[in-house]
Amino acid sequence: MIIGERLRMLREQKNLSQGEVESRTGLLRCYTSRVEHGHTVPSVATLEKYARALEVPMYKLFYEREEPPKLVKLPKHETADDVLWGSSGEDAHALLQFCRLFRKMEKHNLDLILYTARKMTKDKVVQNTKRKRHAK
């Protein structure tokens, strides 16, 4: 159902004129007419005004049944903390220890460790790319 038709039906069920809706919402009567005839699509903020004026919960503007729709359980999305190593738990403790040790190292030793880590990461990326190609 188009939102304008639904608003008109709810307004008529409440025995309200467009003028009465105007006084309750502050929206011009001609605007309500344009919405009801499908010439204008109201914003969410405007729909909230209509819901208050019609004394109905917001979902009633979109849903015809008496009870609210059942909520669908969406799968949990991973957050950045779930994905990043060292953001929590034992990993965070290990990372803190690495940082303390790295601060105590001489620059040339630290450079050697960072070079090795970059090399290992690059090799791992190349290996993963090769595996993906062979899988296809």
Residue by residue, DSSP assigns 70-128 as: PPP-PPPPPPHHHHSTTSSHHHHHHHHHHHHHHHHS-HHHHHHHHHHHHHHHHHHHHHH
CB 55 within 8 A of CB 19: no
List the Cα angle 117/128/82 in 5-degree steps.
70
The pLDDT tens digits for 69-119 are 787 887 777 676 566 777 778 888 888 898 888 888 898 888 898 888 888
CA Rg value for the chain:
30
**What is the SS3 assignment for 40?**
coil
Q: So what's the pLDDT on residue 80?
A: 65
For the entire predicted model, the pTM comes to: 0.51
Q: So what's the pLDDT on residue 48?
A: 94
Q: What is the mean pLDDT of residues 26-31?
A: 93
% of residues, the chain, pLDDT over 70: 85
* CATH code for the domain defined by 3-61: 1.10.260.40
